[in-house]
Chains A and B, each alone.
Chain A
Amino acid sequence: MTVGIPSPPPSSRSRSATEKELDRLFEGTALTFALFILLLLVAIGLLVLVQAWPAVKEYGLSFLWTSAWNPVEGRQAFGVLPMVYGTLLTSALSLLIAVPLGLGTALFLSENFIPLKIRTVLVFLVELLAAIPSVVYGLWGIFVLIPALKWCFGLFGVSFTGPSILAASLVLSVMILPIITAISRDSLAALPPELRQGSYGLGATRWGTIFRVLIPAAISGIVGGVMLALGRAMGETMAVTMLVGNANTISSSLLQPGNTIASLLANQFAEAKGIQVAALMYAAFILVILTLIVNILADWIVRKLQAKYD
């Protein structure tokens, strides 16, 4: 403090015009970049639709329920039904595996079964599952998982060719599990501690409290996490491409090869030409719409939870 020494008057009391101008410019620039994100989203949707237009005009909605995919010139026919089927089937199957495992993991990590330090390490390891590149899972699937599955099925005398819906779904479930765990754990941790105390105070057991109070109270966050995982599973490309077999057929057996929209795109774009590009863009547009619906639902559900306890 400079008590006693009179401070000199500031040279200028009001800010200069340039400074005000700079302030406005800065905010304007920042806002432009923020709006750019929205523009980018719209651009992605529009560009894919525009480039798909020739195929949309040619095949209309029947594209969705035809199963021919023939890029050979002169005999072109495009239908995306097997890939939509494969996308939905692998996603559903991977959710079936990952939801119980992911939720169980989240519960284990949100309760005090083990000391906090070990829990922190486990949380990190589960997060690491999500960080390993998709293509590495694919490589591992080809050289480790598929031979292991072959051996397993061989024990029971079941013939298993290798790349299949099952192999792809198994690896997918590993990749989406950390999403389910992370978001479920967050929504369980966000619950007020009074809920837990209230339940214990009434003589509830730990798991009674978890099933009857904590999970119901955190359900919108958990469901939101599952939806995000579903979106991820539908769009996941590399590991699936390397393991699903890329056969444009609809097979009722999980041990048979299949295809997904994302792996169709990964396989064919680099060599596609003419109407095939449009057909691929059409398929991409369907994938965009599918993931968009799932992600908007997820966003809406997660927001609903935040509103409740804030």
Chain B
Amino acid sequence: MLANFSMDNFNSQSLKINKASRRSLFNAIMTGLSAACILTALVPLALVLFYVTVNGFNRLDLDLFTQLPPAPGLQGGGIANAIAGTLIVVAIATLIAVPIGVMCAIWLAEFGGDDTSIDEWVRFGVNILAGVPSIISGVFIYGLMVKPALPGYSALAGGVALAVLMLPTIIRTTDEALKIVPQDIRWAALGVGASKYQMVLKVVLPAAVPAILTGVTLAVARAAGETAPLIFTALFSPFWPNGITNPIASLAVLVYNFATLPFKPQQELAWAASLILVLLVLASSITARLVTRKR
């Protein structure tokens, strides 16, 4: 090869990186700043997880899961009634929200294309419902069930308030889950002569069940941590749950109530309840991650 074949007055220095140029500096600074942004964003997460674990862990004993909260000024006790209460209220919410949400999503995913104007309105409605502040759902149920004494402060009222909040999440995840089901399966079902309801209920829906369950798990975990819709619907109770038409304790409201009490045992219980709520959220998020990645 003739190395000097292409001699000209090209200045090869001009291609070199100039680390001191304004351009290089600007890029280095911006990269550093954006890395600093994410570090700053994750500091609160680390701090919250750290303090909740440290403060919640020393009350994570058997009493916590079996005893009622102590009277003000007394030691020990547990949050068993609040755990039971959260389970009951969230179960009520799930029983209401899942059928409504799944049916709504079925319409959106399977029939919505037939009537795009209704489809757009319903999607718009779901977006707006997702933006409704959680406290407003509490206010709504207060006006609908508590004030007219139907049945007043109760587990039922709390459950319905949570259901309103769970709906958008369930509708969105179910809609997504149904959309991922391959179109071929639908054609195959219709091709062998299935009616549309048979196709949806026996073929499409079962195929989407794992993804729907993931969405429901996420919604349930979030609902368990919701406090605002419960404080004046389910209220609170220092006793064991007593039917679904009476006020009921819940972990979230317990944290709120006990955090502002000047008694150390109550504050410790608030941290322990927080730890349970955070673990619940953590577990459901990780499960959802793993399930969605498998696909």
Contacts and interface: CB of A to CB of B under 8 A. Distances in A.
Contact of A139 (B30, B122, B259): B259
Tell me if B's interface is mostly helix, strand, loop or mixed: helix
A188 to B, nearest CB: 12
A1 interface: no
A122 to B, nearest CB: 6
A292 B128 contact: yes
Most A CB contacts (10 A, CB to CB) among B99, B124, B131, B164 go to: B131
B45 A109 contact: no
Interface string A1-36: 000000000100001000110110111011111111
A286 B23 CA distance: 49
Contacts, number: 273
Interface in B142-167: 142-144, 147, 164, 167
A55 interface: no
Given A30-B103, A48-B143, A135-B256, A266 B125 contact: no
B256 A44 contact: no
A136 B274 contact: yes
Given A15-B195, A31-B111, A287-B133, A105 B41 contact: yes
Interface stretch (B58-66, B67-75, B180-188, B222-230): B222-230
Nearest to B222: A131
A262 B108 contact: no
Nearest to B120: A303
Contact of A135 (B124, B137, B252): B252
B260 to A, nearest CB: 7
B92 interface: no
Interface size class of A (residues with CB under 8 A): 35 or more
A139 B127 contact: no
A225 interface: no
Nearest to A273: B147
B14 to A, nearest CB: 12
A227 B217 CA distance: 27
Given A100-B37, A101-B37, A174-B44, A131 B221 contact: yes
A277 B282 contact: no
Contact of B259 (A23, A32, A142, A295): A142
Interface in B196-249: 196-197, 200-201, 221-222, 224-228, 231-232, 235
Interface string A26-54: 11011111111110110110011001000
Interface string A132-145: 11111111101110
Tell me if A's interface is mostly helix, strand, loop or mixed: helix
A267 B106 CA distance: 39
Contact of A242 (B106, B171, B201, B260): B260
Nearest to A39: B125
B134 A237 contact: yes
A269 B271 contact: no
A231 B274 contact: no
B263 interface: no
Given A47-B143, A266-B228, A135 B255 contact: yes
Nearest to A298: B131
Contacts of B34: 104-105, 107-108, 111, 113
A99 B42 CA distance: 15
A17 to B, nearest CB: 12
Contacts of A22: 195, 197
Interface size class of B (residues with CB under 8 A): 35 or more
A207 interface: yes
A288 interface: yes
A205 interface: yes
A101 B195 contact: no
Interface in A94-150: 100-105, 107-109, 111, 113, 122, 124-129, 131-140, 142-144
Interface of B: 23, 26-27, 30-31, 33-38, 40-42, 44-45, 47-48, 51-52, 55, 99-100, 103-104, 106-108, 110-112, 118, 121-122, 124-129, 131-140, 142-144, 147, 164, 167, 171, 193, 195-197, 200-201, 221-222, 224-228, 231-232, 235, 252, 255-256, 259-260, 267, 270-271, 274, 277-278, 281-282, 285, 289
29 contacts: A19-B195, A20-B195, A30-B107, A32-B103, A34-B103, A34-B107, A35-B118, A51-B143, A111-B34, A113-B35, A128-B285, A131-B221, A132-B278, A133-B222, A133-B274, A138-B259, A143-B51, A143-B267, A174-B41, A205-B26, A232-B133, A235-B135, A237-B228, A262-B133, A262-B135, A262-B228, A265-B139, A266-B135, A284-B136
* A-B CB proximity, top 4 nearest: A235-B133, A133-B225, A104-B37, A295-B131
Given A37-B104, A113-B34, A131-B282, 5 more contacts: A23-B197, A104-B36, A124-B285, A133-B277, A139-B271
